[in-house]
Amino acid sequence: MKMIIFHIDVNSAFLSWEAVYRLFHKGGTVDLREIPSAVAGDAAMRHGIILAKSIPAKKYGIQTGESIPEAKKKCPQLVLVPPNYSLYERCSAAFMAILREYSDAVEQYSIDEAFMDMTGTCHLFGEPEQTACIIKDRISSELGFTVNVGVSENKLLAKMASDFKKPDRVHTLWREEIQKKMWPLPVSDLFFVGRATAKKLFSVGIRTIGELAQSDPSYLKNILKKQGEIIWGFANGIDLLPVLSQAPANKGYGNSTTISFDVTDAPTAKKVLLSLAETVAARLRADDVKIGVVAVGIKGSDLSYCSHQRVLSVPTNITAEIYVAACGLFDELWDKRPIRHLGIHTSRVFAGDYARQLCLFDGADYEKLERLDETVDEIRDRFGMDALMRASFIGQPIDHMGGGISREKREVDYSRQRIE
């Protein structure tokens, strides 16, 4: 049986979700999708970059990831709106719920895109293109935003197809269509080919996906190592990865934060590390796993970056233990330069119970620390993450649960927003 794989991608997701919410729930009359507009972080909090843009904004050359001043220089009339990740999570959940009505094999690839294995269910709704149109139109009518759907026989080709002309389209890219539809595209459009790889390929005269596909794979391996073989296969439409309805287990857990001011003293930096240890350890406990390696990363105000890691004697998910390890790494690593960004990252994940070997010279009561963390988790789960915080964070400019999605991005006070 021929595989039938869909890739569904929300068009300008954050911007679209914000536009729909303002139109249907906040009395807005201007559709952000139809004017030069963008979702952007708070420059005052040093998160001032473009996160999503409308199609009219794209015509001005505005790019995701560039700074607000750069974007405004290209388009002075650009309308900027703040991010609202709480809204995005609700929209994403509603989007995924519709997809799961058509297949039990749905792999959420990101907050705004998913793969669907329709091989066993497509015949219930019609031909592949017809079924894709049904799903696309239903999302538009029920949720108010548009999607692109790519249809093919594997994940790679389906994803490439969904990136064809936007918005609100269904595109096919069957194997027999590769030469006509995919090979003329620039090699930089191929999945897994980033800027550095594209630059190397350009330097050896490979400019289109077709030229890459017809190159000698051993030559590509010489210049790009293992990646050369992979992208040669992609250029020829080869992809054997299945649609995974359950996400694979995490190989590591981490959180980082950009601080709204330059940190120049160790006590303040360690308070930021404590806030990060709180969130990382809580995620570990929620997944019932422990970690054996802790790493700390420091980005200076000059954007220089350095990191250091340590193997723990015993795997843990205790907040205090991760914090102590992070502080030790920080003391070894920091060179006294002002700090802009801090992160805690962990690896070597162990699932389930892991017996702790007793140490004659360690007087810490780990059972007590575990019970304390469990109690804190229960209170925060029931009453919210701000229901309980350490006294050292009261009245401080540092969030007691740091990293991940920053607090100002989780919710928006629309009473302070100008909605037209």
Per-residue pLDDT of the chain (420 residues; tens, 9 = 90+): 789 999 999 999 999 999 999 999 999 999 999 999 999 987 655 557 899 999 999 999 999 989 999 999 999 999 999 999 999 999 999 999 999 999 999 999 999 999 999 999 999 999 999 999 999 999 999 999 999 999 999 999 999 999 999 999 999 999 999 999 999 999 999 999 999 999 999 999 999 999 999 999 999 999 999 999 999 999 999 999 999 988 788 889 999 998 888 999 999 999 999 999 999 999 999 999 999 999 999 999 898 999 999 999 899 999 999 999 999 999 999 999 999 999 999 999 998 776 666 666 666 788 899 999 999 999 999 998 899 999 999 988 898 998 877 666 677 888 888 888
What superfamily would CATH give domain 183-235?
5' to 3' exonuclease, C-terminal subdomain (1.10.150.20)
pLDDT at 361: 63
C-alpha–C-alpha distance, residues 66 and 74, integer Å: 11
pLDDT at position 155 is: 97
CB atoms within 10 A of CB 268: 17
Angle between helices 266-286 and 366-383 (to 10 degrees): 80
Q: Which CATH superfamily is domain 1-172 in?
A: Reverse transcriptase/Diguanylate cyclase domain (3.30.70.270)
pLDDT for the residue numbered 359: 65
- Residue ranges, CATH 3.30.1490.100, the chain: 252-409
How far, in Å, CA of 109 to CA of 115, rounded? 7
**pLDDT at residue 44 in the model:** 58
pLDDT recorded at residue 360: 60
**Rg for the chain, CA atoms, rounded:** 24
Catalytic site residue from 113, 153, 278, 408 = 113
CA distances, 132 to each of 147, 150, 260 (Å): 10, 8, 45
Q: What's residue 43's pLDDT?
A: 62
The 8-class DSSP code of residue 256 comes to E
Strand partners, 115: 7, 107
Instruction: Sheet containing 37-40: give its strands across.
Output: 50-53, 37-40, 79-81
What pLDDT is recorded for position 17? 97
- Give me the CATH topology for the region 252-409: Dna Ligase; domain 1 (3.30.1490)
Beta-bridge mates of residue 252: 347
142 classed as catalytic? no
Total number of residues shown for the chain: 420
Contacts of 306-311 with C-beta under 8 Å, sequence gap 24+, read 306/333, 306/335, 307/333, 307/343, 307/345, 308/332, 308/333, 309/345, 309/347, 311/348
Q: Which residue spans within 118-251 are E strands per DSSP? A: 147-152, 170-172
Q: What is the pLDDT of residue 156?
A: 96
Distance from chain centroid for Cα 92: 13
CB 351 within 8 A of CB 361: no
- Looking at residue 413, its pLDDT comes to 80
The ranges of the chain annotated as CATH 1.10.150.20 are 183-235
pLDDT value at residue 363: 67
- Calpha distance 323→279 (Å, rounded): 11
Q: In the chain, where does the domain assigned CATH 3.30.70.270 lie?
A: 1-172
Query: pLDDT value at position 366?
Result: 86
**Directed axis angle between helix 217-224 and helix 195-203, to 10°?**
120
Q: Give the number of C-alpha atoms closer than 13 A to the C-alpha of residue 197, restricted to the C-beta side.
A: 23
Amino acid identity at 256: S
Span 217-250, pLDDT tens digits: 999 999 999 999 999 999 999 999 999 988 788 8
